[in-house]
Amino acid sequence: MKLIGIVGTNSNQSTNRQLLKFIQNHFSEQAEIELCEIKEIPAFNEPEDKLPPTEVKQLSDKIIHADGVIISTPEYDHAIPAALKSVIEWLSYTTRPLIDKPVMIVGASHGSLGSSRAQAHLRQILDAPELKARIMPSAEFLLGRSLNAFDESGQLVYPEKVTELEECFDEFLLFVEITNQLVKDHRFKTEQNKQFTWEAANGGEQE
């Protein structure tokens, strides 16, 4: 199985990057996981031709060709980082690669809550008509106290969180298989969703 992990921040130092690297290494025998950075993607600026910049197109292509996506988000002021929201806006406005794509949301934070509000925020965003990602239900991985969570070799040092992550990952692999089979059987709906516009939905009205 081929997955991509999106580091949901443009920060050079992030425990969410560490978390994804741990996932990449820990589950290497179960899936091929490529990590994708968003640091070089410019801030969203609505293009008249609806064509994405090169950096967005490259990320979009990787999402399209992956079986599933893991997004690791920190929490800033009870929400996802502006950089991650900007990337999602690019994707929703241009190529829409997340439609019907299985997504697992994880997150790490320096406090004890493990980006719980940001994860809820991201779920809400990914359910928008232009995104329509298939988010794994009834499961979330929250890594709190993340500054002390990894040793020098990048290993997660909280045994109970390793066990929890293993259970979540096994669920996600099954979710990816089931979701992709269902989507394959109803591919026409995916194409219909990619043609959605708010202008059409509002009878041609624009803001």
Q: What is the pLDDT of residues 30-57, one digit of tens each?
A: 999 999 999 999 999 998 888 999 999 9
Q: How confident is the model at residue 200 (pLDDT cuts 50, 70, 90)?
A: low
In whole angstroms, give the CA distance from residue 35 to residue 20: 7
Distances (CA, A) of 24 to 29, 62, 70, 133, 174: 10, 16, 10, 22, 17
Whole-angstrom CA distances from 21 to 4, 27, 134, 171, 192 are 11, 10, 23, 19, 35
Distance between CA atoms of 188 and 206, rounded to whole angstroms? Answer: 27
Q: What is the pLDDT of residue 188?
A: 54
**Residue type (1 letter), 51:** L
Question: Whole-structure pTM over 0.85, yes or no?
Answer: yes
- Residue 153 is part of a domain; what is its CATH number? 3.40.50.360
* pLDDT for the residue numbered 47: 87
- 174 Cα distance to chain centroid: 17
Would you say residue 71 lies in a domain? Answer: yes
Q: Is the pLDDT of residue 204 over 80?
A: no
- Say if 103 falls within a structural domain: yes
Closest CA to 103 of 69, 141, 64: 69
Residue 206 domain flag: no
**Residue 31 is assigned to a structural domain of this protein:** yes
Q: What's the confidence (pLDDT) of residue 206? A: 45
User: Tokens 């803001």 correspond to what residue?
Assistant: 207
Give pLDDT tens digits for 182-191.
998 876 565 6
**Mean pLDDT score of the chain:** 92
- With 70 as the cut, is the pLDDT of residue 144 above it? yes
- Tell which wins on pLDDT, 77 or 185: 77
β-bridge mates for residue 34, sequence order? 4
- Rounded CA separation 60/111 (Å): 32
**Residue 96 belongs to a domain:** yes
The count of structural domains within the chain is: 1
Higher pLDDT, 201 or 32: 32
In percent, how much of the chain has pLDDT > 70? 90
pLDDT at position 177 is 97
* Residues of the domain holding 131: 2-201
Q: Is residue 81 helix, strand or coil? A: coil
Q: Is residue 91 part of a domain?
A: yes
Burial class (CB in 10 A: 0-12, 13-18, 19+), 135: buried
- Residue 153 above 70 pLDDT? yes
Instruction: Report in angstroms the alpha-carbon separations of 80 from 28, 85, 107, 109, 203.
Output: 27, 7, 10, 12, 32
pLDDT grade for 205, boundaries at 50, 70 and 90: very low
Is 185 a member of any domain? Answer: yes
Residue 207 lies in a domain: no
